[in-house]
Amino acid sequence: MTSTTKGYLDMDLLRFTTAGNVDDGKSTLIGRLLYDSRAIFDDQMEAVERASSKRGNGELDLSLLTDGLRAEREQGITIDVAYRYFATPRRKFIIADTPGHIQYTRNMVTGASTANLAIILVDARKGMQEQTSRHAFIASLLGIPHVVFCINKMDLVDYDEKAFHAIKDQLEDFSSKLEVRDLNFIPISALRGDNVVKRSTNMDWYQGTTLMYLLENIHIAGDLNHIDRRFPVQHVIRPMTEEWHDFRGFAGQIDAGIFRVGESVQVLPSGFQSTIKSIHVGDREAQEAFAPQSVVMTLSDEIDISRGDMISGTNNLPQTGQDIHVMLCWLNQKPLQPGGKYALKHTTRDARCMVKEVAYKMDINTLRRLESDKAIGMNDIGRVHLRTTVPLHYDLYTRNRNTGSLILIDEATNETVAAGMIV
């Protein structure tokens, strides 16, 4: 691997999502992260101070830093995915703060779909709840490589070590049934700041890291697939100018692997092979490019390529087929219609599909398959067999989250109704 590649793969951007039951302290935790890491602008701080004083509780309400809409603040709940960006000297962060209410599970699917890490909060007084198992299952289903369980509100149980370990044992037992590579458990108090950015003096029995130290140092470069080469074509560039009269480039974002000038590639669905003539990253030419860079690529041969086609390595092609089996997260109030027809988007390819069969629905709390109950409504998750109008070029979701995912769209309303992971 070249030094250029290695420098990029060190990855100084971490995307993480927060989830938990209602009032478990997600917004307060993010506010504490921003406040203690000095990532708040003066005007934001002033706005929070004003809003806190209006509430009259005498304390600075850090949760207001993530409750972006005034209407949400007045109701005292967060009802959508709130994104926040901040940085420390070691790393940049994008946070997706998702609601805890059971009816907003679909928001967690949205917020967590691109995350490297999930923080799941658990109230130290209540232990593992229905929403805890739901969020852990969704994190596993979405292939999030790193999950951190933050046992919050330790100050309300007198920082008791036994309370922490009792909940940790519960979580470990449930998580053993899931496919999560990296699990972490941290006792915290988001309100008081214990073990969030600064190490707690109230929990000397805890020898692990603070949450911020974990976020800054967790290794995520190895989470990307750098073996399979996948480049869905998003746009064909033909400038037709004097300077670029014969230029024909293929623009898009690399979904997996490393592409190098001079290497052989294969174009799908045509099957034609060629070699990479040039790679343009921004306004410069490069000898190689890799996921998740956005590039423009040219080939040595004139091949008919259009949006939705895929440029791949010649020795490890994606699967191709029209019968697709997916784990589907239903996002819409109108339930899934067996035999129904939907528009489908997979990478850059648009297609239509029909629901051939619902195999089963998942009971998220027990992880049992409900084969007798196949009605898929909002926030439900089930295994579904789709038949597409054109072949898709895909990988299993466990191998590649980009080429293994798709969305379904109601053609009548143009609403996104489901997110699917190819199994």
pTM tops 0.75, yes or no: yes
Query: Are the CB atoms for 97 and 18 separated by under 8 Å?
Result: yes
Fold equal for 3-223 and 319-422: no
Domain segments of the chain as ranges: 3-223, 230-313, 319-422
Correct CATH for 3-223 of 3.40.605.10, 3.40.50.700, 3.20.10.10, 3.40.50.300:
3.40.50.300
pLDDT value at residue 156: 95
Which residues, listed in sequence order, are joined to residue 184 by a DSSP beta bridge? 148
pLDDT value at residue 256: 94
Correct CATH for 230-313 of 3.40.50.10420, 2.40.30.10, 2.30.42.10, 2.60.120.640:
2.40.30.10
pLDDT value at residue 76: 45
Q: Give exposure, 49-69, as e/b (b: 16+ Cβ within 10 Å).
A: eebbeeeeeeeebbbbbbbee
Angstrom distances, CA of residue 283 to CA of 244, 277, 294, 296: 14, 16, 12, 10
pLDDT value at residue 280: 95
The set of residues, in sequence order, having a beta carbon less than 8 Å from that of 345 and lying 6+ positions away, is 351, 406, 407, 409
Angstrom distances, CA of residue 305 to CA of 48, 261, 301, 368: 52, 18, 11, 45
pLDDT value at residue 31: 82
Neighbours of 217 (CB within 10 A): 10
Q: What whole-number distance in Å separates Cα of residue 414 and Cα of residue 409?
A: 6
> Under CATH, what is the fold of the domain 319-422?
Elongation Factor Tu (Ef-tu); domain 3 (2.40.30)
pLDDT value at residue 93: 92
pLDDT value at residue 79: 42
Q: Give exposure, 245-283, as e/b (b: 16+ Cβ within 10 Å).
A: eeebbbbbbbbbbbbbbeeebbbbeeeeebebebbbeee
pLDDT value at residue 278: 96
pLDDT value at residue 57: 59
Listed as ranges, residues in the chain with pLDDT below 50 are: 1-11, 68-79
The set of residues, in sequence order, having a beta carbon less than 8 Å from that of 366 and lying 6+ positions away, is none
